[in-house]
C-alpha cells in the first residue's frame, strides 16, 4: 500500500512548511489563537497535539483495511478522544500548573481538525511508517506555527521568552499582545507575510 501516495519523506517535509497546517491549511485556529500568549503554554499545546497526531495516525493506519466507509469518522473520533484524554490526564498529573493554565484547550484537541484530516487524508490510506512520518511532519509544522506566533506575542507583550527576561526592564509591555486582539493581529500579519513571500516565490518561478 505504501507504494501509492507520497513517500514517508515527502509526507514529513510537506507537513512542515509547504502544507503547514496553520499557515497553509488554516486548520487548528482555536489553539493557535487561544494559547499563544506565552511560549510555555504554546509548546505544551504543540507537544500534546503532536502526541495525539502520532498515536491517532498510527492506530488508524494499522486498522485501515478494516475500516468501513460509513463508520470511519466514528472510529477516528473514538481514537482521537482516547489519546486526548490520556494526554490530559498525564498533564494534570505531571504538569499540574500548566494543565490548569491551558484549561479546556487540552480536551478541545479532540475537535482540532488537523488530526482528523490527517487520519482521513493519510493514515486511512497509507502504511504505519508513512502515517507516523506524516504525523511528525504535521506536528512539527504546527509547532513551528505556534512558536512563531507565541514568540512575537510573548516578547512584545511581556518582554520575556519561555518566561525568561529577554528585553530590558524598561521595556513597556505591549499588553494588547497577550490579550485576544493580539492573537488575531499577529496571526493576520504573519499569514499576510507568508502569502506575500510565497507570491514573490511564485513570481520568480514564473520568470
Of 2, 26, 62, 90, the one binding another protein by CB under 8 A: 90
Max distance between CA atoms of the chain, in angstroms, equals 62
Shortest gap between Cβ of 96 and another protein (angstroms)?
A: 4
Q: Which one, 162 or 184, has the nearer CB to another protein?
A: 184
Residue partners of 3: CB distance under 8 A and separation at least 6: none
Q: Are 123 and 53 in contact (CB under 8 A)?
A: no
Closest approach, Cβ 196 to another protein, in A, equals 10
On the CB side of 45, CA atoms within 13 Å amount to: 34
Query: Binding another protein by CB under 8 A: which of 26, 162, 173, 193?
Result: 173
Answer for which of 13, 17, 86, 108 binds another protein (CB under 8 A) is 86
Beta carbons of 52 and 156 less than 8 angstroms apart: no
Report the C-alpha gap between 26 and 113 in whole angstroms: 10
Residues for the chain: how many in total? 207
Measuring CA to CA, which residue among 151, 140, 108, 132 is closest to residue 23? 140
Residues 24/18, Cβ–Cβ less than 8 Å: yes
Binding track, positions 51-80, relative to another protein; x by CB under 8 A: ------------x--xxx--x--xx--xx-
Q: List binders of another protein among 93-152 (CB under 8 A).
A: 93-94, 96
Q: How far is the CB of 182 from another protein (least distance, A)?
A: 9
Q: How far is the CB of 82 from another protein (least distance, A)?
A: 4
- Return the number of the residue (61 or 143) whose C-beta is nearest another protein: 61
> Binding of another protein at residue 172 (CB under 8 A)?
yes
Looking at the Cβ atoms of 173 and 201, the one nearer to another protein is 173
Helix axis angle for 128-158 and 8-16, nearest 10°, is 20
Nearest to another protein of 166, 176 (CB atom): 176
Q: In terms of DSSP H, where are the helices of the chain?
A: 8-16, 29-34, 39-62, 72-94, 96-102, 113-118, 128-158, 175-178, 180-206
Report the interface residues with another protein, using CB under 8 A. 63, 66-68, 71, 74-75, 78-79, 82, 85-86, 89-90, 92-94, 96, 172-179, 181, 185, 188-189, 192
Amino acid at each position: 500500500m505504501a507504494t501509492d501516495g507520497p513517500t514517508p519523506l515527502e509526507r514529513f517535509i510537506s507537513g512542515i512548511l509547504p502544507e503547514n497546517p496553520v499557515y497553509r491549511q488554516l486548520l487548528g485556529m482555536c489553539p493557535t489563537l487561544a494559547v499563544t500568549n506565552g511560549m510555555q503554554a504554546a509548546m505544551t499545546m504543540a507537544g500534546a497535539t503532536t502526541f495525539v497526531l502520532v498515536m491517532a495516525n498510527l492506530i488508524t493506519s494499522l486498522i485501515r483495511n478494516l475500516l468501513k466507509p460509513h463508520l470511519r469518522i466514528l472510529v477516528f473520533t473514538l481514537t482521537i478522544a482516547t489519546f486526548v484524554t490520556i494526554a490530559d490526564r498525564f498533564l494534570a498529573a505531571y504538569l499540574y500548573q500548566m494543565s490548569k493554565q491551558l484549561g479546556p484547550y487540552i480536551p478541545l484537541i479532540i475537535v482540532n481538525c488537523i488530526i482528523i484530516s490527517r487520519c482521513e487524508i493519510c493514515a486511512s490510506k497509507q502504511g504505519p511508517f508513512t502515517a507516523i512520518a506524516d504525523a511528525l511532519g504535521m506536528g512539527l509544522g504546527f509547532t513551528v506555527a505556534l512558536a512563531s506566533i507565541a514568540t512575537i506575542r510573548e516578547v512584545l507583550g511581556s518582554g520575556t521568552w519561555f518566561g525568561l527576561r529577554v528585553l530590558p526592564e524598561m521595556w513597556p509591555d505591549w499588553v494588547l499582545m497577550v490579550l485576544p486582539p493580539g492573537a488575531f493581529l499577529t496571526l493576520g500579519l504573519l499569514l499576510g507575510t507568508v502569502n506575500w513571500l510565497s507570491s514573490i516565490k511564485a513570481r520568480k518561478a514564473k520568470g
